[in-house]
Chains A and B, each alone.
Chain A
């Protein structure tokens, strides 16, 4: 079990860093969450958020399978996701502290989120999200290199 936690922790950490995300640097906190993800994987067949009640019906829980649909909006607003497995750059740089945050799932803020199409000016990668990603997953350019993409004629 401990070995499973260690392995999954290392894998999630590597994947996060590669994609411009960060796991919570409080390793004992984070490994506790990772152990709970393994419990949920074994219990439900998918790693649903440890801090939310899953139904056990995958279709109903799809939005809370880690990483959840709300992670990026919560990272932008609060510096961490709901369970605080993931934290933002500001938290890593000690510019922001984290705590328990309100649930976005099922709230009005969830419904009112506006999705834009963003274009990486360096490599042309397109994505549809509230905000551009922190780094481009294709060419690793930073968030500031993204622009809102306007539909127009393609020559």
Chain B
């Protein structure tokens, strides 16, 4: 699967599910960049059908409605949507 990595602070394990066309996903990426944290992401809309199905299977475990963006933190919590307050909170606690 075509997972992309953004360099930065790696104290938290962050995985972000996004759509390349989604403005709230872009805002989430911009926020993570601003906070200088490292993260992996996949633009699910750009995957081929097989990869898309497996990405959605994974995402479903965290967010059954499979909406974007979904940010999985430390394989423990999933922040759904551009929830700036919650993202800042989680990242500042580390």
Measuring CB to CB, which residues of chain A are less than 8 angstroms from any residue of chain B?
A: 29, 32-33, 36, 39-40, 50-54, 83-84, 99-103, 106-107
Q: 1/0 per residue B41-85: CB within 8 Å of A?
A: 000110000000000100000000111100000000000011110
Can you name 5 extra interface pairs (CB under 8 A) apart from A32-B23, A54-B45?
A50-B21, A50-B23, A102-B81, A106-B65, A107-B65
A83 x B65 contact (CB < 8 A)? no
Question: Is the beta-carbon distance between A99 and B23 smaller than 8 angstroms?
Answer: no
With both chains docked as a complex, state the minimum distance between the C-beta of B69 and any C-beta of chain A, in angstroms. Answer: 9
Could you tell me if A51 and B83 are in contact, using CB atoms closer than 8 angstroms? no
Interchain CB contact under 8 A, B23 and A36: yes
In the complex, the answer to whether B19 meets A32 with C-beta atoms within 8 Å is no
Which of chain A's residues have a CB closer than 8 A to the CB of B83?
100
Q: Is the interface of A mostly helix, strand, loop or mixed?
A: loop
Residue with the highest number of chain A CB atoms closer than 10 Å, among B21, B25, B66, B67: B21
Instruction: Give Cα A81–Cα B68 distance, bound, in whole angstroms.
Output: 15
| A-contact bits for B32-47, CB 8 A (1 contact / 0 none) | 0000000000001100
Is the beta-carbon distance between B21 and A39 smaller than 8 angstroms?
A: yes
Interface string of B6-48 (1 = CB under 8 A from A): 0000000000000111111110000000000000000011000
Q: How far is the CB of B83 from chain A (nearest CB, A)?
A: 7
Q: Which of B20, B23, B45, B56 contacts A83 (CB 8 A)?
A: B23
Interchain CB contact under 8 A, A100 and B82: yes
> B residues within 8 A CB of A53?
19, 44-45, 56, 66, 68
B86 vs chain A, min Cβ distance (A): 11
Q: How far is the CA of A29 from the CA of B26 in the complex (A)?
A: 10
CB distance from B50 to the nearest CB of A (A): 14
A103 touches B24 (CB 8 A): no
Closest-by-CB residue of A relative to B26 is A32
Report yes or no: A103 in contact with B22, Cβ–Cβ below 8 A: no
B79 to chain A, nearest CB (A): 11
Chain B residues contacting A33 (CB-CB under 8 Å) are: 23
25 contacts between A and B (CB under 8 A): A32-B23, A36-B21, A36-B22, A39-B20, A39-B21, A40-B21, A50-B21, A50-B22, A51-B19, A51-B25, A51-B68, A52-B67, A52-B68, A83-B22, A83-B23, A83-B24, A84-B23, A84-B24, A99-B82, A100-B81, A100-B82, A100-B83, A101-B81, A106-B65, A107-B65
